[in-house]
Amino acid sequence: MKKKVFSGIQPTGNIHIGNYLGAIKNWVDSQPDFDNIFCVVDLHAITVKQDPKILKEKITETAGLLLACGIDAEKSTLFVQSRIPAHSELAWILNCFTPMGWMEKMTQFKEKSHKAKIGLPAGRENSSVGLFDYPALMAADILLYGTEAVPVGEDQKQHVELARDIAKRFNSIYGETFVLPEAVIRKTGNRIMGLQNPGKKMSKSENGEGNVINLLDSPDKINSKISKAATDSGKEIVFDKGRPGIYNLLTIYEMFSGLEKKNIEKKFGGKGYAEFKKDLAELVIQKLTPIQERYKKMASEPGKIDEILKQGAEKVRPLAEKKLAEVKSKIGLG
Ligand code: AQP
C-alpha cells in the first residue's frame, strides 16, 4: 500500500519558484512512490480579498501549471477544493473541536493579518475570520482523505501540526476516526526568500514584483530580476547563512542544478557576483522554459484543464463524503 499524500496550493496570484522548489517539485518527484491528491485550494484563497474574474482565471492557471510542472493526472488526483462541499462542512465541525488558544498560536495569521485586505477601512479589522480560521479548513482538507504525509514548505508546517492535534483530540473523544498526518519538508529549498528582501519568504501576494520569479516569467524578466537581486558587500560565493541574499541565490542554484553545495562553491570559486548571477539566470530560464511550453500548449486546448479537474473531483468525492458521513454519525448529526 502506497502512503497517502495530500497537498494544496492557493490560486492567489502567480505561481513562483518558491512554490515550485518548496512544494510542487517535491509533489512531482514523489508521484511514483505515493498515492497523491493535489488540490487547488480556492476556498483558502478567499480568506483575503480577490477579484472574482481573476480568481476564476487563476484557478485554471494554477491547475494548468501544476500539470505543466509534471503532475500526471494518470498517477495523481488533481481537483479544485470548492467543488467538494465536504471540505467546508468538515471544517465547520473541526472548528467546534478546536480550542481558540490553539488557533491563536498560528504565526502565519500574525504575519498576514495586518496586510490581508477584505475591503474595509485600514486597521486590524481588515483581516477576515476566514483568515484566522484558515488552519481548520486546511485540517479538513487533510483529514478527509486519510492523509499520512503532507509535503509543504516550512511556512505550512505549523498548520499540519495543528491538523494532527485536532485529529488526535477528535479521536480521543470519539474513537479512531482520523489518520494522524505528518508534514514532509525538504531539507533544502523549503523556504525560498524574496530576491530583493531576502529577510522575507518569496510570496505570491506579499512582495513586490522584483522579489519573485514567477513560473511564467519571460527570460528577460528572469535576467533582470536576478541581476538586481540583493547580495551583500562580501565577495565570496559560498553558502553562508549569515549572508542571506547570496545564500538564497545559491539555494536556488542548488535546487535547480541538483549539484552539491561544495561543487557549486568550487564552480564559482574566485568568480564575481555578476558571473554567478548570469549563470543562475541561464539555469532558471533553462529549467522553466519546458514548463512554460507545456503550459502554453495545455492552455491552448480549450476545456482540457477543466476536464482533468472535473475527473479529479469525481474521484475524490466518494472518499470525502464517506469520511464526512462517519464524522457526522459519530457526533450525532448522521
Ligand atoms: N517562499 C517559499 N519557499 C518554499 N516554499 C514555499 N511555499 C510557499 N512559499 C514558499 C509552499 O508552496 C506551497 C503552496 O503555497 P500556498 O499557495 O498554499 O500558500 P502560501 O504558503 O501562503 O504561499 P504564498 O506564495 O506565500 O501565497 P500567498 O501570498 O497567497 O499567501 C505550500 O506548500 C507552501 O509551503
Ramachandran quadrant class, 141 (left: phi over 0; alpha: psi -120 to 50; beta: rest): alpha
pLDDT per residue as tens, the chain (334 positions): 899 999 999 999 899 999 999 999 989 998 999 999 999 999 999 998 899 999 999 999 999 999 999 999 999 999 999 999 999 999 999 999 999 999 999 998 888 887 666 666 655 567 889 999 999 999 999 999 999 999 988 889 999 999 999 999 999 999 999 999 999 988 887 899 999 999 999 998 766 789 999 999 999 999 999 999 999 888 899 999 999 999 999 999 999 999 999 999 999 999 999 999 999 999 999 999 999 999 999 999 989 999 999 999 999 999 999 999 999 999 999 7
Ligand 1 pocket, 192 CB below 6 A? yes
**CA 152 to CA 185: how far, in whole Å?**
6
Nearest CA to ligand 1 atom 35: 153
Greatest C-alpha distance within the chain: 69
Distance CA 194, CA 24 (A): 18
> How much is the pLDDT for 125?
63
Q: How far apart are CA 213 and CA 223, in angstroms?
A: 10
State the pTM of this model.
0.93
135 lines ligand 1 (CB under 6 A): no
The answer to whether the CB of 279 is under 6 A from ligand 1 is no
Cα separation, 185 vs 200, in Å, equals 18
Supply angle C-alpha 110, 114, 116, rounded to 5: 100
- Supply the DSSP symbol for 2: P
Span 143-196, pLDDT tens digits:
999 999 999 888 899 999 999 999 999 999 999 999 999 999 888 878 999 999
8 Å CB contact between 179 and 148: yes
Helix 86-95 and helix 304-331: axis angle, to 10°? Answer: 40
| CA-15 nearest atom, ligand 1 | 25
Integer CA distances (angstroms), 75 to 67, 265, 316, in order: 11, 37, 14
> How far, in Å, is the centroid of ligand 1 from the Cα of 23?
8
CB 22 near ligand 1, within 6 Å: yes
Nearest-atom index, ligand 1, CA of 11: 17
| Cell digits of residue 173 | 473523544
Q: What cell numbers appear for 185 in the block?
A: 519538508
Give the amino acid at 188.
T
Q: Say which residue the cell 479548513 belongs to.
A: 137
- Cα–Cα distance between 177 and 173 in angstroms, integer? 10
Query: Measured on CA atoms in the order 141, 147, 148, 149, is the torsion positive or negative?
Result: negative
The Cα–Cα gap between 320 and 334 comes to 15
